[in-house]
Amino acid sequence: MCTEINGKQLKSSFWLDFSIAEYFGSKAILNYYYRAMQDWGTDVSYAKELVLVLNHKIAQYYEKMPLFAELYYDLWEKADEQCRTYFSEPGRESSLEEYLNFLD
């Protein structure tokens, strides 16, 4: 299980969960993504880890499985945009700052 990315300790199981979904194909990856975003997309602690994992999954598959890399890129872009929008709403500025600092 990947518990650290770029020196950041992860408290979620997103890396492992996406890795399991990969064995079942693109549809399973999409299904897990939508469930994760629904459950955790508004919690900055988990949302930032989800976006980080998606970004690293792009790199993992960039050369050996371009279709997975493209899927992860699309999901990363979508998740990042959703998080930036949600955490930019009034009263959530500190969450946006935490989100951006974590991913920087």
Rounded Cα distance, 68 and 63, in Å = 10
Average pLDDT over residues 2-6: 72
Residue 2's pLDDT band, with cuts at 50, 70 and 90, is: low
Angle at 9 between CA 51 and CA 96, to 5 degrees: 45
Helix (H, G, I), strand (E, B) or coil at 24: coil
Q: Is the dihedral of CA 3, 48, 95, 98 positive or negative?
A: positive
**Per-residue pLDDT tens for 15-74?**
999 999 999 999 999 999 999 999 999 999 999 999 999 999 999 999 999 999 999 999
For the entire predicted model, the pTM comes to: 0.91
Q: What is the pLDDT of residue 3?
A: 73
Report, as an integer, the average pLDDT of 62-91: 97
Q: Are strands 4-5 and 8-9 parallel, antiparallel or unpaired?
A: antiparallel
Q: Provide the 3-class DSSP secondary structure of residue 7.
A: coil
